[in-house]
Amino acid sequence: MTRILCVANQKGGVGKTTTSINLAAGLGQAGCATLLIDLDPQCNATTGLGHTPTDRHPIVNNESLENSIQASHYENLDVLPGSRSFQDVSALAEGKYVESDKLQEHIRHSTSKYEFVIIDCPPSVGPLTQSALAASTEVFMPIQCEYFAMEGLTQMIHVIRDVMHQENSQLEFGGIVLTMYDPHLELTTEIDNEVREFFGDIVFDTVIPRDSLLAESPSYNKPILDYAPRSRGARAYTELCMEVLERE
């Protein structure tokens, strides 16, 4: 069965797209057929792997995913590029195309050849994110080790639980990963303890460190595993991939 992982957080700047790109690349390197779907109108997951955003999003343009998926330069990794079309962004944000279950149908029935599908969502709890959650089997939430890390999480958790209780929902809480982790800061330790106390075992043991190379790698259109394979960030995402595989 295909594992569909929705990477979501209503806050921006928490490492969501970085996690999507490097988790997808790492799973591909591990030998798993993987598809990365870019649903964020910023299209950073698309450009971060060297692809060009499409003129029209395949969901809005009524195209099959099979015809829109592109092979990446990386082993076992394909990409469904996003679109920056203002028309498409507006339509998707308003829920015109996702409330009809088109997104769920596309994802669930067009990706069966993949072992993993990673969905990079926009930083919101709007209709597009909710529909992506409904189409997924697991939700992954990156949380930044900063002062406002827990702000807004209650709303996100309520949305996830609402989706879980929908008829035919397959969604489970896949895990929480702490990002931008600096063990030398007291605040980081406080956030780590608070998150693990509140969420328990769903928090991954692996933490993603602050690493300038992680910030640089998208500008070179490469995942950190290719751009700087010996870096702290690369080691962390490799370990995170191992945890994801172990949780199957």
Tens of pLDDT, residue by residue over 144-159, are 988 777 776 778 888 8
pLDDT at 85 over 80: no
Question: Domain map of the chain by residue range?
Answer: 3-246
> What average pLDDT does the structure give for the chain?
88
Chain-centroid distance, C-alpha 171: 14
Q: Rg of the chain's alpha carbons, rounded to an integer?
A: 17
**Within 10 Å of residue 73's Cβ, how many Cβ atoms?**
12
CA distance 8 to 11: 9
Homologous superfamily in CATH for domain 3-246: P-loop containing nucleotide triphosphate hydrolases (3.40.50.300)
Please give the backbone phi and psi of residue 149, each rounded to the nearest 5 degrees, phi first: -60, -40
For residue range 150-206, list pLDDT tens digits in order: 776 778 888 899 999 988 889 999 999 999 999 999 999 999 998 999 899 999 999
